[in-house]
Amino acid sequence: MSVENLAKVTIFLSSREHATPNREVRTEFLGTHAPALTVIIAGIFDPRWLLEIEAYAVA
């Protein structure tokens, strides 16, 4: 499978300050592929984590 198989991506950010870097990295890796996307600002269990990603892919 590759990036094109991603159907839905949910990103949980630990802080709003990570929104712009998150968008830049996401664009770099996904290119023009546009799966359904949700970004949530959430308290993450371990404060060292900047984000958590949940992704669904289909073959």
Question: pLDDT digits over 14-27, tens only?
Answer: 999 999 999 999 99
Three-class secondary structure of residue 48 per DSSP: coil
Mean pLDDT, range 36-48, rounded to an integer:
91
Residue 46's pLDDT is 86
* Span between the terminal Cα atoms of the chain, in Å: 7
Per-residue tokens: 48: 């060292």
Instruction: Give the Cα separation of 22 and 13 in Å (integer).
Output: 8
pLDDT > 90? residue 43: no
Going by C-alpha positions, the residue among 40, 32, 31, 33 that lies closest to residue 10 is: 40
Q: For residue 17, what are the contacts with CB-CB under 8 A and spacing of at least 6?
A: none
* pLDDT of amino acid 47: 80
